[in-house]
Structure 1
Amino acid sequence: MNNISVHKLTPDMAEQYVAYFDNRAFSDGSEQKGCYCVWHHWTEQKEAERSALPENERPFSKRNYAYELVKNGRLNGFVAISGGEIVGFCNADLKENYFRHSRENDPESWEGIDSDSKVLAIVCYIVAPDMRGMGIADSLLEYACGYAEENGFDYIEGYPSDGAFDARNCGGTDSMYIKREFQIGHAGSRIIARRKLGN
């Protein structure tokens, strides 16, 4: 792990970000290739726009949207870098910034949280196939915890995978959270790992 560093994703990394998803993130041929980790921002309107495109342009819509989101500072998180290249990504942001996790669209997951609380939500980990098993997701979570503490968040939460940790079940393992004293609970059928920060 000595040659891997973790950093906040910044708008100037937009090109590098989409290149990671183009070439490295799913180089094992996973069916999730092409996700660009935009699902949590993907609205019905975006899907309608994509469906209206000519068929040959549809595969690029998520790529272009991801580039635009990163460039505009609206797709956030942390990247693991090795040899100057992204080898892992953790999608994390203020919880209400995610369309799918807003209070309106996901009220169950907000139970027990005050209306003025600032929550850092970690929605996904994507580690390059050739770099898996090296503790990169764990390092990304560790960095996220430090970031949340330093930036005045009241809570940090993640959504651990129920069962095998793979490209479609990309929330990390519950053990990653348990060892950092997150409380494990449920919102409907989903697992939520949450830790209160500060006093």
Structure 2
Amino acid sequence: MATITTEVATTARWDDVQRALTGGGDGASCQCIWPVLSNKDWNATTKEQRTEMLRSEIDAGPPPGIIAYVDGEAAGWIRIGPRTAQARVARTRIIAAASAEPFDDDSVWAVTCFVVRREHRGTGINLELLRAAVDYARDSGARLIEGYPVDTGGSTIRTNDLFHGALSTFLAAGFTETAELKPGRTLVALDLAS
């Protein structure tokens, strides 16, 4: 049985962040910068620029994500942090219309991205990442965490369409459904104050 552990993404773990992001799917080209840029700014950047943006974000701190390890090898990534640092969330109309939380509140955090290396998919890494993200948010003073997962309904979904996470993973971690964003996408929340 493989051992899954997690660590926050610090400068010292940069190579592990890159390993986690480059195991198949869009992680290598996106560099998990999609949630922090508007469409216009996203379209104006190259992969190299996005890589440097993520590196700068990690260097500046606080860590914007968590790395999962399988037997000590980087295997997955989750982006977690204040919604105020993830500009795309407030600019996404379906989220803005569905969330009851003010978008200028730093105590509201968001989970916006999951990446798992191809060879480790289907092994429970996303749930371990999400649990670690909840602990990290709680320890960092977050009041509430939102997520915007895909409801697979038991269907097979293209991996690149699952970067928001699966609804079943969020429910297993104690989140509750608060609103339908659109068919197949749900807003979920976890109140850390209760």
**Normalising to structure 2: TM-score of the pair?**
0.79
1:78: Cα distance to partner?
A: 1.0
Aligned 8 A contact 1:123 1:159 in 2? yes
Q: 2:85 aligns with which of 94, 97, 117?
A: 97
Aligned pair in 2 of structure 1 residues 155, 103: CA closer, same or farther (>3 Å)?
A: farther
Q: CA 1:68–1:37 in structure 2 vs 1: closer, same or farther (change >3 Å)?
A: same
Shift of 1:63: 2.3
- Count of aligned positions: 186
Separation in structure 2 between the aligned mates of residue 6 and residue 154 of structure 1, nearest angstrom = 22
For 1:141 and 1:31, locate their aligned partners in 2 and report how far apart those are by CA, in whole Å.
20
Write out per-residue CA displacement over residues 63-87 of structure 1, whole angstroms, 9 at most, x where no aligned residue. 2322222222266111112344310
Identify the residue that residue 43 of structure 2 maps to in structure 1.
Answer: 47
Matched, 1:155 2:144: yes
Larger Rg: 1
| Residue matched to 1:186 | 179
Please tell me whether the aligned partners of residues 90 and 96 of structure 2 are also in contact (alpha carbons under 8 angstroms).
Answer: yes
In the alignment, which of 63, 69, 72 is matched to residue 57 of structure 2? 69
CA contact (8 A) 2:111 2:146 kept: yes
RMSD of equivalent CA atoms: 2.8
Deviations 1:102-137 (A, max 9, x none): 379753243255964611211111111101111110
Identical columns (%): 22
Q: In the alignment, what sits opposite 1:175?
A: 168
Name stretches of at least 5 consecutive residues in structure 2 with no aligned partner. none
Aligned to 2:127: 138
Query: In structure 2, what residue type is equivalent to 1:107?
Result: A
Aligned mates of 2:33, 2:92 — CA distance in 1:
19
Alpha carbons of structure 1 residues 165 and 157: separation in structure 2 relative to 1, 3 Å: farther
Query: How many Å separate the matches in 2 of 1:169 and 1:124?
Result: 9
Q: Work out the CA distance in 1 between the residues paired with 2:162 and 2:123.
A: 18
Larger displacement relative to structure 2 (170-179 or 112-121): 112-121
Match of 1:81 among 66, 69, 76: 69
1:35 aligns with 2:23: no
In structure 2, distance between residues paired with 1:35 and 1:121: 18
Q: Which runs of 5+ in 1 are unaligned?
A: 51-57
Distance change in 2, residues 1:132/1:151 (3 Å): same
Partner of 1:126: 115
